[in-house]
Amino acid sequence: MPTLRIALAQVNSTVGDIPGNAATVRRWSREAADAGAHLVAFPEMMLTGYPIEDLVFRNSFVEASRQALRTLAADLAADGLGELAVVVGYVDADGPPAISSDAEPGTGRRDASALLHRGEVAATYYKHHLPNYGVFDEDRYFEPGDTLTVVRLGDVDVALTVCEDIWQAGGPFTAARRAGVGLVVNINASPYELNKDDVRLRLVKRRAVEAGAAVAFVNMIGGQDELVFDGDSMIVSAEGELLARTGQFTSELLVHDLDLPVADASPNVPGSTDATAPDVEQTIDDDMSVTRVIINAEISDRADDRDGGIAERIADEEEIWSALTMGLRDYVDKNRFPSVILGLSGGIDSAVVAAIAVDALGPDRVVGVSLPSGYSSEHSKDDAADLAKRTGLDYRVQPIQPMVDAFLANMSLSGLSVENLQARVRGVILMALSNQEGHLVLTTGNKSELAVGYSTLYGDSVGGFNPLKDVPKTMVWQLARWRNTRPGSPIPENSITKPPSAELRPGQKDSDSLPDYDILDPIIRGYVDRDLGRDELIAAGNDPALVDRTLRMIDIAEYKRRQSAPGTKISGKAFGRDRRLPITNSFREGVKTSTAP
């Protein structure tokens, strides 16, 4: 049995930074070669970043990707890395360059994987299964491939697949079994969700057994707008045994020796030879054809042995914290903000966001502003100052009362208008500091608040990014407690234990307007995350009156969410592209169809 040394490059890619991403491939390919690897695999859409969304409709973008791939192949050879097989994701299109056409959206665009070798694009494969649910719109963007590409690398057969191909039965993995391959390389841009790593491991094992081949699964890391990629790359044997696995949210090269069967001299798949390419043989599977590409490569046994090892899984709170810090860091850095700014109320949400920001960027890149009003309690100001001291962030105090008073003196406002006014004056101050000094404003509304609309539009909701957007309030507390068990204990105990309040009128508490969060959050989880209706929520044990009140609040807050800042998705269904609801919507759960006209 030949031993193939595989390297999986779990790296960070930036949407649109094609030259930078190509440079990353060259740098890590060098590392892989130095480690003696025969093959290195990079994530899905490595060259372009993922997801590129409607950029795919711009021919100039697609052409830049295609050209960068050819340039990369040549550059790798020039770097002396021509003998290394490099598998890399990019966006491709059918036919010749189409710079000047008004092609129909989605026509002929491909989510592609290429194998580069000796300065050439030796083989390509087009993703077969296209996800079109949740945050994914790939039926909008791509044509599905219908051909499995099998590369004979020396004397082992390697099949190329992409991401969703592993999530659905049939297609490429069935074709891989018929083609008798030894290894399936599956490149991914699979976004993080809590507990998704367990699902992935089960899937990879199942497909390996189905294909009767080892599977090398490589995933991206890094943040891209509302998504964060967690890595979790792995190698599983043909028997479904986990052989090696990377850490989560880590930038790393997993190098592992894999014993693979010698490929049949004459593959047991009948087929016609493609006359235009003498080293390519084609055959039809049940629903996919197979293209064979033969590459003369020497798979020589290395003197040493390499075992990638199996990194331990981290606990849920650390996993989420890692996702939130990585999501924020990459939003800030990839959009080239020098620093962030946020209002510090002394409450739990702004304290946790500040702690995330300091962990992500360091205290020197975080500005916290206490914005006290006449209704702010002493403990709020103290807690904000305490947080600043614990974290070392740039702390400032900017009282809002003079500005609030100017509005009140010139307008006739009362009640909720005055509460919202205070929040909006704070928003104007933070945005003015952002304009003046260049900081990105962070907003701190958690998922529970966003769900029920417990926020002031253009007030506390101002900001370019929201780390807690997909974090329910009960989980905010859980994260705070967990973080305080780690070095620095950044969050004041008082911010964790005191009852939450917006402090927009004397003695105000969240509980004046909302059910307790440990009652509210399960209703939100059922209605938002699981699409349960009123009857199902009541059958699950929730109080009917609370269900009705909560559902009504969630329904009418859609207009606020539509103008909300992006924030990192960590759940199975986040607000944003994951959940697309009309603003104008008269449907009310529990209101039965009337028979009166």
**Which residues belong to the active site?**
44, 127, 163
The distance of closest approach from Cβ of residue 6 to a copy of itself in the complex, given in angstroms and rounded to an integer, is 23
The distance of closest approach from Cβ of residue 137 to a copy of itself in the complex, given in angstroms and rounded to an integer, is 7
**How is residue 78 written in tokens?**
């020039």
Among 17, 252, 382, 548, binds a copy of itself (CB under 8 A): 17
Euclidean distance between CA atoms 87 and 74, whole angstroms: 14
C-alpha to C-alpha distances, 504 to 128, 428, 514, nearest whole angstrom? 54, 16, 15
Question: What angle do the packed helices 416-437 and 401-410 form, to 10 degrees?
Answer: 130
Q: Is 199 in the site for a copy of itself (CB under 8 A)?
A: no
Among 165, 330, 359, 460, binds a copy of itself (CB under 8 A): 330
Residue number with CB closer to a copy of itself (99 or 199): 99
Among 105, 374, 488, 544, binds a copy of itself (CB under 8 A): 105
How would DSSP label each residue in 406-468? HHHHHS---THHHHHHHHHHHHHHHHHHHHHH-PEEB----HHHHHHT-S-TTTTT-SSB-TT
Q: Residues 41, 42, 48, 51: what is their CA dihedral angle, to the nearest 10 degrees?
A: 110
Tell me the window of 178-186, 197-205, 327-335, 338-346 that interacts with a copy of itself (CB under 8 A).
327-335
Residues between 454 and 473 with contacts to a copy of itself, criterion CB under 8 A: 457-458, 462, 464
Residues between 564 and 593 with contacts to a copy of itself, criterion CB under 8 A: 564-566, 577, 579-589, 591, 593
**Is residue 283 helix, strand or coil?**
strand
| Contacts of 555-563 spanning 24+ positions with Cβ under 8 A | 555/585, 555/587, 555/588, 556/453, 557/450, 557/451, 557/452, 557/453, 558/582, 558/583, 558/585, 559/583, 560/450, 560/453, 560/455, 560/457, 560/461, 561/450, 563/457, 563/461
Give the bridge partners for 340, in sequence order: 366, 440
Residue number with CB closer to a copy of itself (94 or 307): 94
The footprint of a copy of itself on this chain (CB under 8 A) covers a number of residues equal to 109
User: In whole angstroms, how large is the CA radius of gyration of the chain?
Assistant: 27
Tell me the window of 175-183, 262-270, 375-383, 400-408 that interacts with a copy of itself (CB under 8 A).
400-408
C-alpha to C-alpha distances, 266 to 179, 270, 395, 497, nearest whole angstrom? 11, 9, 71, 70
Among 266, 272, 412, 485, binds a copy of itself (CB under 8 A): 412
Residues across the chain: 597
Q: How many CB atoms lie within 10 A of CB 80?
A: 10
Euclidean distance between CA atoms 134 and 153, whole angstroms: 37
The distance of closest approach from Cβ of residue 591 to a copy of itself in the complex, given in angstroms and rounded to an integer, is 8
Euclidean distance between CA atoms 476 and 454, whole angstroms: 16
The distance of closest approach from Cβ of residue 335 to a copy of itself in the complex, given in angstroms and rounded to an integer, is 6
The distance of closest approach from Cβ of residue 34 to a copy of itself in the complex, given in angstroms and rounded to an integer, is 15
Q: Is 276 in the site for a copy of itself (CB under 8 A)?
A: no
Select from 232, 107, 126 the least CA-distant residue to 172: 126
Residues between 111 and 170 with contacts to a copy of itself, criterion CB under 8 A: 132-134, 137, 139-140
Q: How many CB atoms lie within 10 A of CB 240?
A: 16
Select from 392, 331, 344 the least CA-distant residue to 364: 392
Residues between 22 and 81 with contacts to a copy of itself, criterion CB under 8 A: 22-23, 26-27, 49, 51-55, 57-61, 64, 67-68, 71, 75, 79
**Is residue 526 helix, strand or coil?**
helix
Q: Is 16 in the site for a copy of itself (CB under 8 A)?
A: yes
CB 468 within 8 A of CB 349: yes
Q: Is 271 in the site for a copy of itself (CB under 8 A)?
A: no
**How is residue 48 written in tokens?**
């372009």
The distance of closest approach from Cβ of residue 401 to a copy of itself in the complex, given in angstroms and rounded to an integer, is 9
Among 272, 276, 485, 595, binds a copy of itself (CB under 8 A): 595
Tell me the window of 80-88, 383-391, 399-407, 471-479 that interacts with a copy of itself (CB under 8 A).
399-407
The 526-565 site mask, x for binding a copy of itself (CB under 8 A), equals ----xxxxxxx--x-------------------x--xxxx
Q: Is 96 in the site for a copy of itself (CB under 8 A)?
A: no
Tell me the window of 32-40, 300-308, 431-439, 483-491 that interacts with a copy of itself (CB under 8 A).
431-439
For strands 39-41 and 394-397, give the pairing. Answer: unpaired
The distance of closest approach from Cβ of residue 270 to a copy of itself in the complex, given in angstroms and rounded to an integer, is 29
Give the bridge partners for 258, in sequence order: 4
The 286-325 site mask, x for binding a copy of itself (CB under 8 A), equals ----------------------------------------
**How is residue 520 written in tokens?**
């509210």
Residue number with CB closer to a copy of itself (100 or 272): 100
Among 251, 377, 398, 494, binds a copy of itself (CB under 8 A): 398
Q: Please report, for the chain, how many H helices and E strands are present, in that order.
A: 18, 21
Q: Is 102 in the site for a copy of itself (CB under 8 A)?
A: yes
Tell me the window of 241-249, 297-305, 326-334, 381-389 that interacts with a copy of itself (CB under 8 A).
326-334
